[in-house]
Chains A and B, each alone.
Chain A
Amino acid sequence: MNGVHDMGGMHGFGPVVVEKDEPVFHSRWEATVRALMTLALRRYFNLDEFRHAIERMPAGDYLRASYYEKWLHAVETLLLEKRVITPQELTAGRASSPPAQPTASHAERPPLRALFKVGDRVVTRNLNPTGHTRLPRYARGREGVVRTVNGPFLLPDTNAHGGGPDWEACYAVEFTAGELWGAAEFESDTVCIDLWESYLIGEENT
């Protein structure tokens, strides 16, 4: 989805602010949320569902919320959707029904089958799905070069929505700064992005 989470190249967020001597967790509840997510992951939902649950937050809330507040929102959302907990239980803070059984599947990874090879020129598709995707907006319809061939990994676009399993080769594709940003100050600087095969078109087919 073309959400506010897809931040690459956006303006207006100001300088990077570094917190000196930052602790691992700022308070106990952050650690608790981290643990709840870690323990629920793969039992009740997968990582793509989790990411998409964060992306589905209203844009204003997403920008205002702290990092672990976003995580808490996503864990609550998914545990409700998967019927591990009910809205009544969440409001009352007391259990009133048994939880749904763990459902997440553990798909077996097949051997790698890759359409492209290192050095191939590819163009990214101009995809604008309303669901989850890992093709950032700033890299759509751009030409790049395959630098490494990896995977197969599950296609996030279906894995986030109960589809698949769609195992695909995933490529580190290198783009020049000039290709991505137009007249970049240093055109030969590059950005490398891991992109699933179905995000890409071979140059001979464009």
Chain B
Amino acid sequence: MNDAHDDHDHNHNHDHGDGHHPEAPNAVEARALALESLLLEKGVLTSEEIDRVVSYYEHDTGPMIGAQVVARAWTDPDYRRRLLEDAPGALKELGFENAARTELVVLENRPGVHNMVVCTLCSCYPWAVLGLPPTWYKSAPYRSRAVSEPRKVLSEFGCELPEDVKVNVWDSSSDLRYMVLPERPAGTDGWSEQQLTALVTRDSMIGVARPQVPTSSPA
């Protein structure tokens, strides 16, 4: 985990104004808080440790890590090769020491091959490089259908693949975590690594979308 968070108040009085998520039942929230306070009282863990973990997920990991890796691979063929052969080593090269502790495998999209990642049994996800998974990734519809009708799922995400593109779905069931290296979109010749990074979306690294060049190009 990363650097200690500032010693701000560890406030667990909850803000009930968070009304956009109607199914969060108060009983579950109360149970969570009761368990937390019990574990704190018993000295099993400390509020500083809790703060550090939450801060890591909220601030220190996210798709910006994966996007930088992809943009580097798009601009540097040697880096791309190293990334595909040894993703943790390639993460270390860019200074992502935390992320490099994950047994990451990078799957290369190329003309005629599209990769897509799911975890049908639970919610395995390369959070060290993409942050925590979105709810849809953990949901029953995605987990049930990604393996049996991937093209329909992709088309619901607006990703229509021609028939001659083969779809490889990866059901993450072990200690390995998979991330997709999407294809560099056409029309980005001469773009800087920074400009390219901005094109790389989380969904394109899960494999349910392809990076798009915005109509008003930043170039």
Contacts and interface: CB of A to CB of B under 8 A. Distances in A.
A192 B117 CA distance: 10
B131 A24 contact: yes
Contacts of B94: none
A10 B175 CA distance: 24
A6 B121 contact: yes
Contact of A8 (B15, B39, B147): B147
Nearest to A62: B140
Contacts of A134: 121, 173-174
B81 to A, nearest CB: 16
B186 interface: no
B174 to A, nearest CB: 3
Contacts of A28: 12, 14-15
Nearest to B122: A51
A108 interface: no
Interface string A4-41: 01111111011111110010111111111111101110
B169 A16 contact: no
Nearest to A174: B168
A25 B176 contact: no
B36 interface: yes
Interface string B88-99: 000000000000
Contact of B171 (A33, A39, A148, A192): A192
Nearest to B203: A18
A195 B136 CA distance: 25
A190 to B, nearest CB: 5
Nearest to A66: B23
Given A85-B38, A134-B121, A192-B168, A17 B148 contact: no
A63 B43 CA distance: 34
B18 A26 contact: yes
A25 B53 CA distance: 13
A9 B143 CA distance: 8
B75 interface: no
A91 to B, nearest CB: 9
A201 interface: no
Contacts of A35: 49-50, 53-54
A5 B21 contact: no
B8 interface: no
B24 interface: yes
B141 interface: yes
Given A26-B21, A29-B29, A90 B144 contact: no
B176 to A, nearest CB: 6
Interface in B112-147: 120-123, 131-132, 134-136, 138-145, 147
B29 A190 contact: no
A185 interface: yes
5 contacts: A19-B134, A36-B35, A90-B34, A136-B121, A180-B148
Interface of B: 12, 14-15, 18, 20-21, 23-25, 28-29, 31-39, 41-45, 49-50, 53-54, 57-58, 103, 105, 120-123, 131-132, 134-136, 138-145, 147-148, 150-151, 153, 156-157, 163, 166-176
Interface of A: 5-11, 13-19, 22, 24-36, 38-40, 51, 54, 63, 66-69, 72, 75-76, 79, 84-85, 89-90, 93-95, 98-99, 134-136, 138-139, 148, 150-151, 153, 170, 172, 174, 180-181, 185-186, 188-196
**Top 7 A-B residue pairs of the complex, sorted by shortest distance between their CB atoms:** A194-B174, A8-B120, A35-B53, A13-B140, A26-B21, A29-B32, A10-B144
